[in-house]
Amino acid sequence: MSKHKRFALLTREQAVHKRTPDRADLEAVTTVHTVPGPAVLQASRLLGDQLSPAQRRSLIRQLGTVRGNRHLQTLVRGSEAVEDAADLRDQASPAVTIHPTTNAVQLNGRRRSRPKAKTVFRPSSRSYSFKATSLAKAIKAMTAKYGADEWGSCKWYPRPRFSFIKRDGTILSMVLTVRIVITMPRWKDVGKRSQAVQKEWNRFYAALLLHEQGHEKLVRAHLSKLPRSLVGKDRTQAHSDYQAALQALQDASDAYDGQNDHGRKQGTMIDTTIK
């Protein structure tokens, strides 16, 4: 052994171990609960007098759900605020409750800065193509490909993602992604037709697009605030309210079609007499 190591061993101070409080001591002190975390922290003079700095640091690391609570952190560090805790205990005050903060919320396995409750809309468009030599044959082609009621459509596909407390099923956060798809007809060779036919087709196309955009507005109006209304409810109630909201949207869409006769009152009729 080198002389430097021998000198270090001779001059090193002996470690002083502090006694860890036993169970009887801990039962007589004020209890501070963290919600919804599983840990129950004991705060009293024992934290300042009998716990080592390493033990106090260990307790501080457990305060992930109560970060920012200065009163509790000063208690764990064993500062002069311990006297205030003793006064609270003597007055038979109730246990301090720390409400869940951002660290208790997880979404898709990743920690978030704050609980999220929002709707993300992802609109897109599609088309189906056909060829025709006249407006009458264009109607026949659209009916054969898409149906007689409407020659376009607006469909929505909601996809909810949420996090919840396993203990009681309370919804903590929810992000609702809604894909909206508007499908429109595409007359391939309309450019070969007369100017009058092209003008009538463009008028019809604009009226049909306006009708389908009306469906899209209903989707946005019914689902934009839905996640915020579900956060804080239990899973059973949230699921019931979610299904009710989707049904209300479908009913509103059907009523919209009934009021304008599937767009016919908005100008989606084609004058086949134009050549």
- 173-208 burial, b at 16+ Cβ within 10 Å, e below that, comes to bbbbebebbbbbbebeebeebeeebeebbeebbebb
Q: What is the mean pLDDT of residues 117-141?
A: 95
pLDDT for the residue 45: 43
Statement: residue 122 has pLDDT above 70: yes
Cα gap 155→249, rounded to integer Å? 12
Domain map of the chain by residue range? 16-104, 106-266
pLDDT for the residue 152: 95
Query: What DSSP letter does each residue of the chain carry, written as one string?
Result: --HHHHHHHHHPPPP-PPPPP-HHHHTTSEEEEESS-S-EEEESHHHHHTS-HHHHHHHHHT-GGGTT-HHHHHHHHT-TTHHHHHHHHHTTPPPEEEPP-GGG-EETTEE-SS--EEEEEEEEEEEEEE--SSHHHHHHHHHHHH-SS-SSEEEEEEEEEEEE-TTT-BEEEEEEEEEEEEEEEEETTGGGS-HHHHHHHHHHHHHHHHHHHHHHHHHHHHHSSHHHHHTTSBHHHHHHHHHHHHHHHHHHHHHHHHHTTTTGGGT----TT--
pTM of the model: 0.59
pLDDT for the residue 23: 53
- Each residue of 132-150: pLDDT tens digit? 999 999 999 999 999 887 8
- Each residue of 48-78: pLDDT tens digit? 555 666 666 666 566 544 444 555 555 555 5
Choose among 38, 39, 76, 34: nearest CA to 55. 76
Q: What is the mean pLDDT of residues 219-232?
A: 94
Q: What is the mean pLDDT of residues 217-244?
A: 94
pLDDT for the residue 226: 95
pLDDT for the residue 148: 83
- Each residue of 20-31: pLDDT tens digit? 555 555 444 444
pLDDT classification of 103: cutoffs 50, 70, 90: very low
Q: Which residue has the higher pLDDT, 91 or 135?
A: 135
Cα 210 to Cα 140, 145, 217, 247, distances in angstroms: 22, 21, 11, 23
